[in-house]
Copies of this chain bind each other. A is one copy, B any other.
């Protein structure tokens, strides 16, 4: 069973979750090329939609994600990377890109975690 890139128009969403804490770290996109690089190397790779290029997470920041396990969903059009995250997943310096809470939706955003000291 492999991701169904064809059905999804070439790109599927990939969730990165910290394998130890269960924290959802980020959501990014994977095409077949990024998928194969992830499997070949054991490091999370994505496809940057804005830069239209392969992106090894942490290639410039050093904040890499080692793959512990990969899950695939029932429709094979989303994947879950369980990772060992080095440093901050978010480019803003937070452990998770989902550091802002909206409460149950009507609220002003509230920052839920400190920046990581590296």
Chain B contacts of A6 at CB under 8 A? none
Chain A, interface residues (CB within 8 Å), range:
35 or more
Copies of this chain, how many? 2
Instruction: Encode contact with B along A75-118: 1 for CB under 8 Å, 0 otherwise.
Output: 10010100000000011101001111111111011001000000
Chain A stretch 1-59: residues in CB contact (< 8 A) with chain B:
1, 13, 15, 17, 21-24, 26-27, 35, 38-39, 42
Instruction: Check A70/B103 contact, CB under 8 A, given A13-B13, A15-B15, A80-B98.
Output: yes
Chain B contacts of A98 at CB under 8 A? 71-73, 78, 80
* Interface of chain A, main secondary structure: loop
Contact sample, A vs B, 20 pairs, CB 8 Å cutoff: A1-B100, A1-B102, A1-B108, A13-B13, A17-B24, A21-B22, A22-B23, A27-B73, A39-B104, A39-B105, A69-B101, A69-B103, A70-B104, A71-B101, A71-B102, A72-B100, A73-B98, A74-B94, A78-B97, A80-B98
